[in-house]
Structure 1
Amino acid sequence: MYLVTFRLDPGEYDEEFHELNDIIQAVAEDTDGYLGKRTWNNTESDEVLVVYYWKSLNALNSFGDDTNHKRAKQRWTEWYDAYEVTVTEVLETYGSGFGDDADPPR
């Protein structure tokens, strides 16, 4: 499994951002190997952290090849003050679990 951590400092979102963001999320959900996402918001700094779960690197790369996703990445300066993406391979997970709502779905 792979995690893509998308850390961002939001700027100004316009209607086009929201439309493109919805399209990209739908593309992710339709990509074979997409397992889900979790989002956290830091109320003190407005920083947002989104973690996307992928079954394989091939699945992630397939999503990364999407035209809408590429277009959004080219326009990041219009919508974010800063961002950082980290791709991590998960070697092991353990703990008590979070029940049926756990991410990624098991």
Structure 2
Amino acid sequence: MFAVIFRAEIGELDQEYSELAGKLRQLAMDKYGCVEFFALCEGNQEVAISYWPDMTSIQAWKADPLHAQAQKKGRAGWYNRYLVQVAEIHRQYQVPAE
């Protein structure tokens, strides 16, 4: 299992951002195998974490044309800056155990 962590300083978000974000989340889950996705905003900071079964799924998602369009718009103004980290999950547990 892998996690993609997206951290950003928000620039100018608009209605198109809101609509596209929802479409992209659903596309990631339906077409590319994303297992879970959540995002939180506080002030002008956004953190999104998505979980993926393998690197192949992540790479296919990154290459998706709609996602590439969103990345371009993100660089053009939605975000002042962002950082993407890809991490492999080596261990996990939860309470209460299932």
TM-score computed with the length of structure 1 as normaliser? 0.78
Percent identity reads 26
Q: After TM superposition, which residue ranges in structure 1, 4 or more long, deviate above 6 angstroms?
A: none
Matches of 1:61 and 1:83, distance apart in 2: 18
CA–CA distance in 2 between the matches of 1:41 and 1:15? 16
Q: When you count helix as a share of all residues, which structure comes out higher? A: 2
The match for 1:104 is none
2:55 maps to what in 1?
Answer: 57
- Once residues 70 and 30 of structure 1 are traced to their aligned partners in structure 2, the CA distance between those partners, rounded to angstroms, is 17
Q: Distance in 2 between matches of 1:46 and 1:98?
A: 35
Letter of the 1:12 partner, please give it: E
* Partner SS for 2:18: helix
Question: Where does structure 1 lack aligned partners over 5 or more consecutive residues?
Answer: 100-106
1:30 corresponds to: 30
Give yes or no for the alignment of 1:48 onto 2:51.
Answer: no
Q: How many residues align?
A: 97
- 2:66 matched to which residue of 1? 68
Indicate the RMSD between aligned Cα atoms, in angstroms. 2.0
Match of 1:88 in 2: 87
Per the normalisation by structure 2, the TM-score is 0.83
